[in-house]
Structure 1
Amino acid sequence: MNSLILKNSDGIITDSKIIAHMFETLKANPGDVFKCTILDQGLCLGTIESLTKSECKLKLSEISPAQPQWFNLVVGISRPQTTKKVLEHATTFGAKKIHFFKAALSEKSYLDSKVFESAECEEHLLAGLSQAAIYGSLPIVKTDKYNPADSYADIPQKFILDLNATENFLDLSSSINFDTPVTLAIGPERGFISEDIARFHAAGFKSVKISSSILRVEHAIYSAVSQLELIRGRY
C-alpha cells in the first residue's frame, strides 16, 4: 500500500482492512506521515493524529492534482483470476477505462463473474490505485456481450495487439499524442480470431506487434503499456 485511499477530505479512515494494514504491516503510530489519495480530488500527505482499532484520524496537507489517467483498454473477457489482475494492475499503470467484452473465443459465462460485482471490483481497483500513488480516480469498468469496436470508430489513436502486425509502437511513436488517451484492444486467453481483428480494423484500429512470443493477457497489457510509457518519456 503506497498510498492511503480516502473517499473524502475529512481525514477519517474507518475501513477495517486499511486500519488492520496500518497496525500489522505499516506499524503506524501517531505522528507518522503517509501519502494519501483522495478519490476524484487529488493527492496529499496525511499525518496521523489518532489511531485506534476502529478509526484513524489524519491531518491532511494541501491537496495537489493527481496525474491524468492516459489509456483505455478494450479486452476480450478471460478467466476471473486473469480479470482480477487486469483490473488491479491496469489501474496502477493509469487506465482511464477498462472495457471487457466477449470475443469470439471468450467464454460467455465469464461476464457473469462475481469479480464484476460492485464491492469486489472496487476492491481490485482501489488496490491498483493505492499501488500507483500518482493517479486520483478509479477507471470506468464496462462489460459487453458483443464486440464493441464500432463504438470506438470516432476515437483517435487506437491500436490492436496483433502477432501478425508488421509495425511496433516505436515505428509509430511520432504519430502518438500522449495528451489524448491511447486506446488498446487486447485479445482474450485464446486470442482473437481474424473476424475479431477485422472488426477492429474496420473501426480504425491499427495493428501493432509488441512481442514475437504469445503472451498471457495480463502480460500483454503490461508489456504494451510499458512500451508506451517509455515512448511517452514520463520518466
Structure 2
Amino acid sequence: MNFIKSCILSTEKKEEEEIPQLPVESPDVKESGFKHLFEIQRISKKQLYDRNPEFVAKYAEEKLKQFTLVVCGAPKTGKSTLINAICGKAVADTSDSLDALTTDTKCYPVEGAYPVIEEEQDYQKKFRINIYDTKGITSWDLSIIDILKSTNPICMIYCATPGTFADLRMVEELIKECVRLKIFVALVCTNMWTNDDEHRETIMQEFDNVLKVK
C-alpha cells in the first residue's frame, strides 16, 4: 500500500472535472476490508499538516475527498486481482483462463466515511476513491492517453508479471506522458512469488531502468 500513501501525501494541483460515466461496480464499504484505507487517510492528514503550509494542506485535504487511481498493463497481468487486493474485497472479476477478462475500462468506486477527531470533537468525513481497471494493453495507442486525461488520476499503476510480454518502449512512453500530466507512477510486479525467479528479477530490473526515463 506504499504507493497509495505516497500518492496521498503528494497530490498535485489539478483542475476540477467530472468523473466520466464508465461502468461502475460499487462494493459495500461496511462489510469489506477498507479499514486500512481509513487509517491511511487519517495518518496522511496528520503528516500533511505537519509538513506543509496550512493553505497547501487544506487544498490537498479537499482534493482527498475524491481522487482516482488508474491500473494499466498487458492482458493477464493481474490488474483486477491487484484492485481486489487494494480494496480488500473481490470487486473486479478475475479468471485463471489465458483469455483476457477485462475488455473495457471499468470504474470501481470506494465510498465511505472516516472518523475525524479535531478540537475534542468527533465526526466523520465522506470520501470517494475511483479505481479504474483498464483493458489489457497490447500496443501503444492514444486511447491510453485519453483514459489518463479523462479520469485525471493522481497515480497510474502499471502491472507486469513473470512470463508475460512487456513492450518497454510502450511503458516508457506511458511514463513520459504521466510525467507530462503530473501523474504519479507505480510499477507493480504481480505474482512476484512464483517459481519463475529469472523472469521476476528481469521484470524488476526492467522496471528499475524504465523509472530512470526523463
TM-score (norm 1): 0.29
Q: Over alpha carbons, which structure has the higher Rg?
A: 1
Calculate the TM-score normalised by the size of structure 2: 0.31
Bigger relative contact order, structure 1 or 2 (CA pairs below 8 A, ≥6 apart)? 2
